[in-house]
C-alpha cells in the first residue's frame, strides 16, 4: 500500500541517484557474518570463496564457466587477451559506452573500430557492423548498455559468417535476457563488473568472465594469474587480475537477492512511465519509434527508455532523452535530485582516440545520445514518493522555468 505523502514533502525531499546504505541495511547481518568467515580463514586471494562465487554466478548467467577477476575493465582486457587480440588487430565496438569498452582494446595495441548505435536502445546497430569488417577484424564487442541486451542474433550471425569472435560487455547487464538467454552466455566470452554501482555490486572492485568454451575458460584462468599453468610455471604472459575472497564473500550474500532487486528496478521503471504519462509533458515511449527530432521539436518532449520485445531489461540505469539537458540537470541537482549523464563524450571523440581520426558528426546517433540522455534514480529501494519528487521537478522545469 503506497500512501500519498503531503505535497510539501514531494516538493522538498532529496532523492539520491543511488543509495547503497539502504540496500546494506537489509543484509547487514549476513554480510558481516560472511566477512568474519573470510577474516577467520585468513585466505584472501582466490580460494574457496571465489570458486563458490564462480559456480553460483555461472549458474545464474546460464554459462558453463565463470572466472572471477579484479574488475570489469580487467574482465574485458583478459577476455581480449584470451582470444589473442594484439597490435594491428581491429575490434568492432560501440562508441556509446563506458571508456573501458574501447580502452581495453587500445591497451593491447589493437584498434577500436566504432560503428553507430540504434537510437532506440543505445546499443550497437548490427546493420552497421558488416561495412566495418576488414581483413584485420578479429572480434565484435557489443555492450548491453543500461541493462538491455544488444541484438545478439544478427551479431552472432555476422560473426559466424566472417569467423569473428564475440565478447559481450555485460558489465551493466547481469541477469539481462535476450530471447530467454542470459547476458554473457551467447558470445564466446562475457564480461561482468561488480563495481559498487552495478546491479550486483561488491565492496570495492571486482569482475568476472563467463564462457561456454572450456579452452577459453582455462586460458582466462591462467591469464588472471601470471599465465601460470601451475604455480611459478608461466605458459602465457598474464597478469594479476585476481578477485579477492572478501569481495566474493560479499557478492555471495547479495546474489540470492538479485532477482528481487531487479524486480524492484523494473517496478520503478513502470512507475516512472505511469507518472510521466499523467503529466502534461509530451512523453514518447516504446510503442512509437523515437525520431531523433528532440533538438528541433518545439515541445517539451521526453522520451522514455525503449524495451524491445523478448528482452529482460534489468535497468542498471533508467535513461531518458530530454530537451535542454544541461539546464534540466542543473535544475535537478540544485533541488538535490540525483541524475547523471552516461556518457557525455562518445568514445570516438575522446582526446586519447584523436589519432583514430573520427571527426565530430561521424557517428550521429551516438553523438545525439551523448547530448540528450539523462539517467534518473532507479535503485530498488526508491519509493514512489521519491519518484513523484523527480517527476514533479521535471514538470516544473519545463512548465515554470
Ligand X SMILES: *Cc1c(COP(=O)(O)O)cnc(C)c1O
The residues of the shown chain that bind ligand X, judged by CB under 6 A, are 71-73, 97-98, 100-101, 143, 169, 171-172, 193, 195, 205, 207
Contact between residue 374 and residue 294 where contact means Cβ atoms under 8 Å apart:
no
Contact between residue 322 and residue 302 where contact means Cβ atoms under 8 Å apart:
yes
CB of 359 to ligand X, least distance (A): 24
CB of 208 to ligand X, least distance (A): 10
Q: How many CA atoms lie within 13 A of 385 on its CB side?
A: 14
Phi, psi of 241 (to 5 degrees): -120, 40
Cis peptide bond upstream of 341, omega within 30: no
Residues in the chain: 401
Distance from C-alpha of 60 to C-alpha of 177, rounded to nearest angstrom: 11
User: Which residue, 173 or 332, is less far from ligand X as judged by CB?
Assistant: 173
CB of 36 to ligand X, least distance (A): 26
Closest CA to 383 of 258, 264, 262, 277: 264
CB of 169 to ligand X, least distance (A): 5
User: Which residue, 193 or 211, is less far from ligand X as judged by CB?
Assistant: 193
User: Which residue, 47 or 103, is less far from ligand X as judged by CB?
Assistant: 103
Distance from C-alpha of 67 to C-alpha of 241, rounded to nearest angstrom: 10
Strand partners, 225: 240
Cα separations in angstroms, 68 against 47, 71, 194, 235: 11, 9, 10, 20
Closest CA to 188 of 210, 203, 157: 210
Give the CA diameter of the chain. Answer: 69
CB of 94 to ligand X, least distance (A): 9
Secondary structure (DSSP) of 20-55: HHHHHHHHHHHHHHHHHHHHHHT--BSHHHHHHHHH
Q: CB neighbours (10 Å) of residue 321?
A: 22
User: Which residue, 208 or 245, is less far from ligand X as judged by CB?
Assistant: 208
User: Which residue, 150 or 294, is less far from ligand X as judged by CB?
Assistant: 150
Distance from C-alpha of 57 to C-alpha of 50, rounded to nearest angstrom: 10
Distance from C-alpha of 369 to C-alpha of 374, rounded to nearest angstrom: 9
CB of 161 to ligand X, least distance (A): 26
User: Which residue, 143 or 303, is less far from ligand X as judged by CB?
Assistant: 143
Give Cα 76 distance to the centre of its chain: 13
Closest CA to 169 of 72, 69, 270: 72
User: Which residue, 78 or 294, is less far from ligand X as judged by CB?
Assistant: 78
Q: CB neighbours (10 Å) of residue 239?
A: 17
Q: Report the residue number whose CB is nearest to ligand X.
A: 72
CB of 375 to ligand X, least distance (A): 12
User: Which residue, 96 or 331, is less far from ligand X as judged by CB?
Assistant: 96
User: Which residue, 7 or 45, is less far from ligand X as judged by CB?
Assistant: 45
Closest CA to 203 of 18, 24, 22, 25: 24
CB of 193 to ligand X, least distance (A): 3
Cis peptide bond upstream of 343, omega within 30: yes
CB of 362 to ligand X, least distance (A): 21
User: Which residue, 165 or 174, is less far from ligand X as judged by CB?
Assistant: 174
Amino acid at each position: 500500500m503506497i500512501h500519498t505523502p503531503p505535497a510539501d514533502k514531494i516538493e522538498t525531499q532529496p532523492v539520491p541517484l543511488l543509495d547503497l546504505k539502504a540496500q546494506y541495511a537489509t543484509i547487514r547481518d549476513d554480510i558481516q557474518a560472511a566477512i568474519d568467515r573470510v577474516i577467520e580463514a585468513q585466505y584472501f586471494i582466490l580460494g574457496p570463496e571465489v570458486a563458490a562465487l564462480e559456480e553460483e554466478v555461472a549458474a545464474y548467467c546460464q554459462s558453463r564457466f565463470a572466472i572471477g577477476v579484479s574488475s570489469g575493465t580487467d574482465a574485458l582486457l583478459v577476455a581480449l587477451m584470451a582470444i589473442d587480440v594484439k597490435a594491428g588487430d581491429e575490434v568492432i565496438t560501440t562508441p556509446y559506452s563506458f571508456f573501458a569498452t574501447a580502452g581495453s582494446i587500445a591497451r593491447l595495441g589493437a584498434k577500436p573500430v566504432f560503428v553507430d548505435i540504434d537510437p532506440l536502445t543505445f546499443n550497437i546497430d548490427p546493420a552497421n557492423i558488416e561495412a566495418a569488417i576488414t581483413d584485420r577484424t578479429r572480434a565484435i564487442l557489443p555492450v548491453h548498455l543500461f541493462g538491455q541486451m544488444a541484438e545478439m542474433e544478427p551479431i552472432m550471425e555476422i560473426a559466424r559468417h566472417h569467423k569473428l569472435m564475440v565478447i559481450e560487455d555485460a558489465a551493466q547487464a547481469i541477469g539481462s535476457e535476450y530471447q530467454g538467454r542470459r547476458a554473457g552466455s551467447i558470445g564466446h566470452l562475457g564480461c561482468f563488473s561488480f563495481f559498487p554501482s552495478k546491479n550486483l555490486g561488491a565492496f570495492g572492485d571486482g569482475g568476472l568472465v563467463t564462457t561456454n568454451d572450456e579452452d577459453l575458460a582455462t586460458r582466462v584462468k591462467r591469464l588472471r594469474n601470471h599465465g601460470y599453468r601451475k604455480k611459478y610455471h608461466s605458459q602465457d604472459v598474464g597478469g594479476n587480475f585476481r578477485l579477492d575472497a572478501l569481495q566474493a564473500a560479499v557478492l555471495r550474500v547479495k546474489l540470492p537477492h538479485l532477482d528481487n532487486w531487479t524486480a524492484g528496478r523494473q517496478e520503478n521503471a513502470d512507475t516512472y512511465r505511469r507518472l510521466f504519462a499523467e503529466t502534461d509533458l509530451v512523453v514518447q515511449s516504446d510503442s512509437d519509434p523515437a525520431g531523433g527530432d528532440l533538438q528541433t521539436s518545439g515541445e517539451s518532449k521526453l522520451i522514455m527508455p525503449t524495451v524491445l520485445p523478448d528482452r529482460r531489461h534489468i535497468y542498471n540505469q533508467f535513461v531518458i532523452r530530454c530537451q535542454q539537458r544541461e539546464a534540466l540537470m542543473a535544475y535537478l541537482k540544485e533541488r538535490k535530485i540525483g541524475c547523471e549523464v552516461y556518457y557525455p563524450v562518445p568514445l570516438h571523440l575522446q582526446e586519447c582516440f584523436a589519432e583514430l581520426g573520427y571527426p565530430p558528426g561521424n557517428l550521429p546517433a551516438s553523438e545525439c545520445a551523448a547530448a540528450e540522455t539523462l539517467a534518473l534514480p532507479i535503485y530498488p529501494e526508491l519509493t514512489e514518493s521519491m519518484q513523484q519528487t523527480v517527476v514533479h521537478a521535471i514538470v516544473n522545469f519545463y512548465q515554470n522555468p
